[in-house]
Structure 1
Amino acid sequence: MSSPIMFPYKSLLSVSKDSKEPIYQQITNQFTLLIRNGMLKSGQQILSSRALSDVLGVHRKTVIMALDELLAQGWLETKQGSGTFVAKNLPEMKPQKLKDSKDTSIKKAGFSFESKPILQREVIKASDKLHLDDGFPDPRLAPLLELSRAYRSNLIHGNAYVKLGYGDTKGSLWLRQELAKYLNESRGLKITSDNILIVRGTIMAMYLLTTAFVKAGDIVVLSEMTWASAKINFQHAGANILTIPTDENGIMVDVLEEICQKHTVRLIYITSHHYYPTTVTLKADRRIKLLKLAEKYRFIIFEDDYDYDFHYQSKPLLPLASADEVGVVLYSGSFTKGISPAFRVGYLVAPEEVIEHLSHFRRIIDRQGDSMLENAIAELLQEGIIQKHLRKSLREYRERRDFFCELLSQKLKNEVSFQIPEGGMSVWTKFDKSIDLVKTAEKALKNGLYFSNGTQHNLLDRNLNATRLGFASSSVEELEKCVAILEKSITKV
């Protein structure tokens, strides 16, 4: 049996009185690590509490607390009249090289796993730089005071057990009721609260959809250019992806019909109102034909209506879901574009049995959403505050769109081409072929302006040399600075 005196306690144990961690816990954790690393072996006797307190320079009661904790956890055991020992029933630990105490994090997993390349994407994070982003809202316009008031009200009033306990996996009933009214009035839907599933955002709706309805080998149809997160979801599910081209009127539905005549299509993903990334609107005749094809060939239409509320030319076309009489359209939207990306509240509209089915899948990844936030938004919808905010934002974003497009025409008329978008929060901008868009984006970033280099929109057979330049999240003064930086960052091939 090893002598407790021979063990180098002084060099292997240390405490810091400046640490926020209690001293007894520091001692406990260090003893545990020494046992795990095989430095202290099973059955080895350790110093008495009095001797340890002398070695560590701490009060004996503190050491006793640490030893009691180690005894309770089963790392140590006592023998009447003999002292305290490392527990004998522990498996043999081979001595390991002690790591630098400043770097205790584990870098590598102790098991194998597959890392899919399709999941490796840069995460866009907010920064204080100037930006022409992907088409995000300006949170400075959001009704934050009203939202905080409603959140606080829902937090402190009412039955706490009900409000702060587990809720419906479909989401707040109050929000689903208010959303049903709002969507019926603004989008021509004919739904009740039972047709709505509250989700964290469209990306969560997409994941639930693919998990529940798309099997490996199923055919999913996307447009040639599409939202990367949607494509990745279908790829992750093992779907066989087919693509169809688009033009100034949206997706070419005739090509979809040809595909349906040859293959069994399970689903088509579409951004019908403001096509991503070019912002064009799917025209009425193609909408009618798409619905007829879905009814005939019994495939799902996933309609992602990410910024329906921001259409500037006239009253926007109603979504496909408003004309769906056979239950083939799953309609998704969120408050991300209306309020701010930080507020993760979205919705999926579908036939009642689909909502019930999806709620079971939602339960196993996210028991429920943020009930307080959902109820706060329900209150703002009921009071008309969100509707008022959207009308105000629409006027502001229209002004920013017009100002930004005028700036592009004046300052970069020989470098870019674009169509003034009828709606949305960004301008699909094509750069002259003589311009290296990747290097231009890099140089702009060094000069304090972020915008995407557009490579994610390129097709397999050609470089489009185009990108989305978001205008909504910047004031007119900021937009002027953005274009000035962009102008001086232009880099020729």
Structure 2
Amino acid sequence: MDSPVEIPYQSFIKIDRNSEVSIYLQIANQLINAIQRGFLPFGTKLPGTRSLSMILNIHRNTAVSVYDELLAQGWIESFPNKGTFVIGKTQDQTLEIKVFEKQHLENYPKQTGFSFKTTNILDNPFEQSHCEYIFNDGIPDIRLTQVDQYSRIYSSILKRKAHKIGQYNQDGSEFFKQHLSKYLNLSRGLPISKNNLLITRSTEMSIYIVSRILLSEGDTVLVGALSYFSVNMIFQKAGVKIESVPIDHEGIDVEEVRKVCRQKKIRMLYLTPHHHYPTTVTLNAQRRLELLQLAEEFGFVILEDDYDYEFHYDKSPILPLASADTNGMVVYIGSFGKSLAPGFRTGFIVAPENLMAEMRKYLGIIDRQGDILMEHVLGELIAEGEINRYLKKSLKVYKERRDYFSLLLQESLGDFMRFEKPSGGLALWLEWQVPVNLMQLAKNCARNNLFIPKTLLYQNKHLSAMRLGFGNLNKEEMEKSVEILSEKVKTMI
């Protein structure tokens, strides 16, 4: 093999003397990298420790430590009176050592060396912006949360209970499930026990697990004529056929559901009945009962998504379909702590125990560790009544924001659009009565520091509408946002 002094070690070994990683480890790791990538082939003779120390301008003891590390990891072997060599079968002596280029050693591969399936179904639909003012589809204002208080509870539980939690538990905190089941019983009329609960990270994770178990490729799923895009993406990835059913001012058209069921086999109906996404209309009580009867008659699953049940202002909300389900046709999903800071939220699934047993298998694969400590925090928030106190306080703020936002829109744009003030939720549904190119409107607003994501825009030859969230905006932010929106609309008409 080539003489070790001919190898330009300085070209691919760079030492950062300010790094927290010790110098000998930096050198050892870079030598290993060179061996793995073929720049130091098997059988290559390495310089002695004295020579290496001179080449790299390091202390000889550091060079000794480098070789000790390589020896311990099994990359080199030393022979008395012969030298130190890279371990492996000696390669063809005519094989030239690769040309040393530092960029080859540092760069991670730009692409895989194998083929794989790609899809655009799950392309991220969410946009980012640095605009000062942002409309969203109905997200709470984290500035209202008492993060310090929740952090103290978390810290307290960590000190008091961490030693009792033990190993990872994919089933989640029994303490939290026990209190959450009681909470859902009292607040949503769900006569369940902790055995009917599966704790997840989010609504989307819940729907993914449900779709993996209940849907097969080629199944037909019914959704509203306008529906939640993320859920549709999950269904599409599952290979199902998605068919839309009209939505009116009372929710999904039950007669259309019945008509479709008579024509073909339906596997699932996906609903957001509390406040339909995106139009915010509430499914009335009579239609809820009719849908339960249809599900039993035609044997389809009702997947009920109560994504913002916590937010209601003018009257008590209509109880979920799941509360009236006596035949096990409804799988109910929701979120808990949506009004809290992002790190203190969680999702859940409610279903009969036989389905729950199967779903736990999937959860054990994709989220085996869970977050037991956080679930204990949420459990204590329920047990101590803190969640009810916080919701009562925050609902007052959100109701005031809904009313003020509605007033601003009516005063500024009432001649150009129409909307119904929702009884709950954190967003309004606006339908434009004048021709407006919504994509262009969003671009014009962005130039004035107001961001309107494309996921909030609904426009075709029959409809021109927007879903605008108000929960994240205070009074001054609402005023400025509506001012920008109004100005840009009027310049386009």
Normalization by structure 1: what TM-score? Answer: 0.94
**Structure 1 counterpart of 2:29:** 29
Verify the 8 A CA contact 1:42 1:86 in the aligned structure 2: yes
**Structure 1 counterpart of 2:168:** 166
**Structure 2 counterpart of 1:224:** 225
Shift of residue 430, structure 1, vs aligned partner = 2.1
Counterpart amino acid of residue 252 in structure 1: D
- Tell me: CA distance 1:135–1:96, structure 2 relative to 1, closer, same or farther (3 Å): farther
Name which of 130, 139, 143 aligns with 1:140. 143
Instruction: State how 1:74-473 maps to structure 2 within 5 Å.
Output: 74-89=74-89, 95=98, 98-100=101-103, 104-124=107-127, 129-158=132-161, 160=163, 162-167=164-169, 169-335=170-336, 337-454=338-455, 457-458=458-459, 462=461, 464-473=463-472
Deviation per CA, 1:367-425: give whole Å up to 9, x if none: 04211111001001111111111111111111101100100111122333211112110
Verify the 8 A CA contact 1:454 1:465 in the aligned structure 2: no
Verify the 8 A CA contact 1:43 1:87 in the aligned structure 2: yes
Deviation per CA, 1:179-217: give whole Å up to 9, x if none: 111111111111111111111111111010011111111
For residue 467 of structure 1, give the secondary structure of its aligned residue in structure 2. Answer: strand
For residue 113 of structure 2, give the secondary structure of its aligned residue in structure 1. Answer: coil
Of 66-75 and 247-256, the range deviating more from structure 2: 66-75
Q: 1: distance between equivalents of 2:52 and 2:121?
A: 55
**Structure 2 counterpart of 1:44:** 44
Verify the 8 A CA contact 1:46 1:84 in the aligned structure 2: yes
Shift of residue 456, structure 1, vs aligned partner = 6.0
Counterpart amino acid of residue 477 in structure 2: E
For residue 480 of structure 1, give the secondary structure of its aligned residue in structure 2. Answer: helix
For residue 304 of structure 2, give the secondary structure of its aligned residue in structure 1. Answer: strand
Verify the 8 A CA contact 1:452 1:467 in the aligned structure 2: no
Verify the 8 A CA contact 2:261 2:298 in the aligned structure 1: yes
For residue 256 of structure 1, give the secondary structure of its aligned residue in structure 2. Answer: helix
Shift of residue 7, structure 1, vs aligned partner = 1.9
Shift of residue 454, structure 1, vs aligned partner = 4.9
Shift of residue 145, structure 1, vs aligned partner = 2.9
Shift of residue 80, structure 1, vs aligned partner = 2.2
Aligned length: 489
Q: 2: distance between equivalents of 1:464 and 1:97?
A: 62
Q: 2: distance between equivalents of 1:10 and 1:197?
A: 57
Deviation per CA, 1:16-71: give whole Å up to 9, x if none: 21233321122112212322333222212111011111111111111111112222
Q: 2: distance between equivalents of 1:163 and 1:91?
A: 55
Q: 2: distance between equivalents of 1:103 and 1:82?
A: 31
Of 418-427 and 12-21, the range deviating more from structure 2: 12-21
Q: 1: distance between equivalents of 2:355 and 2:212?
A: 13
Q: 2: distance between equivalents of 1:211 and 1:144?
A: 35
Counterpart amino acid of residue 7 in structure 1: I
- Tell me: CA distance 1:36–1:297, structure 2 relative to 1, closer, same or farther (3 Å): same
Shift of residue 123, structure 1, vs aligned partner = 3.3
Shift of residue 288, structure 1, vs aligned partner = 0.8
**Structure 1 counterpart of 2:59:** 59
Q: For structure 1, list consecutive stretches of 5 or more residues without a partner in the other structure.
A: none
- Tell me: CA distance 1:254–1:475, structure 2 relative to 1, closer, same or farther (3 Å): same
Verify the 8 A CA contact 2:41 2:91 in the aligned structure 1: no
User: Are residue 487 (structure 1) and residue 486 (structure 2) matched?
Assistant: yes
Shift of residue 156, structure 1, vs aligned partner = 0.5
Q: 2: distance between equivalents of 1:487 and 1:421?
A: 21
Moved segments of 4+, more than 4 Å: 90-94, 124-128
Counterpart amino acid of residue 470 in structure 2: F
Counterpart amino acid of residue 9 in structure 1: Y
Shift of residue 305, structure 1, vs aligned partner = 0.3
Of 271-280 and 54-63, the range deviating more from structure 2: 54-63
Verify the 8 A CA contact 2:203 2:348 in the aligned structure 1: yes
Verify the 8 A CA contact 1:170 1:368 in the aligned structure 2: no
Identity across the alignment (%): 40
Of 145-154 and 429-438, the range deviating more from structure 2: 429-438
Shift of residue 433, structure 1, vs aligned partner = 3.9
Shift of residue 12, structure 1, vs aligned partner = 3.4
Shift of residue 283, structure 1, vs aligned partner = 0.9
For residue 492 of structure 2, give the secondary structure of its aligned residue in structure 1. Answer: coil
For residue 64 of structure 1, give the secondary structure of its aligned residue in structure 2. Answer: helix
Shift of residue 293, structure 1, vs aligned partner = 0.6
Shift of residue 126, structure 1, vs aligned partner = 8.5
Q: 1: distance between equivalents of 2:289 and 2:89?
A: 73
Q: 2: distance between equivalents of 1:172 and 1:458?
A: 44
Q: 2: distance between equivalents of 1:178 and 1:305?
A: 19
